[in-house]
């Protein structure tokens, strides 16, 4: 039986090895409270890490391409900060990760798996809704180097059970106590690793430890370009320990109409994890986020 998702959830996506874009001060500093009444524009916000800013820019440019008036207030901050901005009308559209947001709202994962339905129900009293979620996902995933995968014939996390006692697991400090970490791996999969090495949350320290043999299994994030660039093998979470983290547009009811809904749902349908990983790789290489967003929109006819 699934346990309650802890608030930490996948908010750790901010710890991706992708650097956040420079902000230029507080993006909400000039707000007067009810931004929609004053300008009529859809105000697109984002968290303070690069992938969130990329997704928000994709939303913004697609809406502008369709003639919708848009204002951008990106790089706002952590989830508690930008959710408050959404609630008070300082922004009225942003990209989110469905399972992570559900955890932040203190709602348990529904048994039927309808995360978006649970989000709609939880947010409706606040005048906020979610649209269709995307196949693109940024969630915790256990990875190994190709040699380890081949030597032990690893495809699923459950394949680790016979050999876990010989392996070192690398991950963030919160994994010591977080259910979707060491405790859950022990309870759900019966994995008792030889050692848990505290490193970063899916960042360069974990990658380095895997590559130099200091660890054989590591926690990374599914849209991290380092997985593909280094031919790492992402093990399938075949027992469903890690909650979903599919990208979903979240917006206030007052800016929702058929045109906006159609555009954002088309983006969700076209976005996949592989494409997101490729765009994250371009960000890591120093490409402009606006140019990356425009290239992706052009490729998908948006």
Q: Are 43 and 90 in contact (CB under 8 A)?
A: yes
pTM of the complete model beyond 0.95: no
Distances (CA, A) of 49 to 62, 70, 224, 297: 20, 21, 13, 21
First to last CA, the chain: 42
Domains along the sequence of the chain with CATH: 11-137+247-299 (3.40.190.10), 140-234 (3.40.190.120)
Q: How far apart are CA 193 and CA 163, in angstroms?
A: 8
CA neighbor of 5 nearest in space, from 74, 105, 147: 105
233-234 and 247-252: which strand pairing?
unpaired
Q: What phi, psi does 97 have (nearest 5°)? A: -120, 115
**pLDDT for residue 25:** 53
Residues 6+ apart with CB under 8 A from 31: 85, 90
Query: Percent of the chain, pLDDT > 90?
Result: 77
**pLDDT for residue 16:** 42
Instruction: Locate 247 and state its tokens.
Output: 């990208």
What are the tens digits of pLDDT across the range 263-290?
999 999 999 999 999 999 999 999 999 9
**pLDDT for residue 28:** 62
Low-confidence ranges of the chain (pLDDT < 50): 1-24, 31-38
**pLDDT for residue 140:** 93
């Amino acid at each position: 039986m699934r346990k309650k998702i802890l608030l930490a959830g996948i908010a750790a996506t901010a710890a991706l090895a992708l650097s956040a874009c420079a902000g230029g001060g507080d993006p909400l500093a000039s707000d007067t409270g009810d931004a929609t009444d004053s300008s009529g524009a859809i105000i697109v916000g984002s968290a303070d890490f690069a992938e969130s800013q990329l997704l928000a820019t994709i939303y913004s440019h697609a809406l502008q391409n369709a003639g919708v008036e848009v204002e951008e207030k990106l790089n706002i901050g952590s989830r508690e900060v930008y959710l408050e901005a959404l609630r008070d009308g300082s922004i009225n559209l942003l990209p989110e990760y469905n399972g992570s947001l559900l955890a932040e709202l203190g709602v348990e994962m529904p048994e039927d798996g309808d995360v978006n339905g649970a989000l709609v129900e939880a947010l409706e009293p606040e005048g906020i809704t979610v649209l269709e979620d995307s196949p693109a996902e940024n969630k915790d995933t256990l990875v190994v180097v190709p040699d380890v995968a081949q030597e032990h014939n690893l495809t699923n996390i459950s394949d680790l059970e016979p050999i876990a006692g010989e392996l070192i697991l690398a991950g963030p400090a919160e994994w010591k106590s977080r259910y979707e970490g060491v405790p859950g791996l022990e309870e759900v999969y019966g994995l008792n690793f030889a050692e848990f090495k505290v490193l970063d949350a899916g960042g360069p320290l974990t990658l380095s430890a895997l590559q130099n043999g200091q660890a054989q299994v590591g926690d990374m994030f599914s849209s991290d370009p380092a997985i593909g660039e280094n031919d790492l093998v992402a093990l399938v979470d075949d027992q469903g320990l890690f909650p979903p983290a599919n990208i979903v547009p979240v917006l206030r009811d007052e800016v929702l109409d058929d045109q906006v809904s159609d555009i954002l749902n088309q983006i969700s349908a076209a976005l996949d994890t592989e494409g997101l990983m490729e765009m994250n790789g371009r960000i890591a290489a120093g490409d402009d986020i606006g140019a990356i967003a425009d290239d992706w929109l052009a490729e998908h006819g948006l």
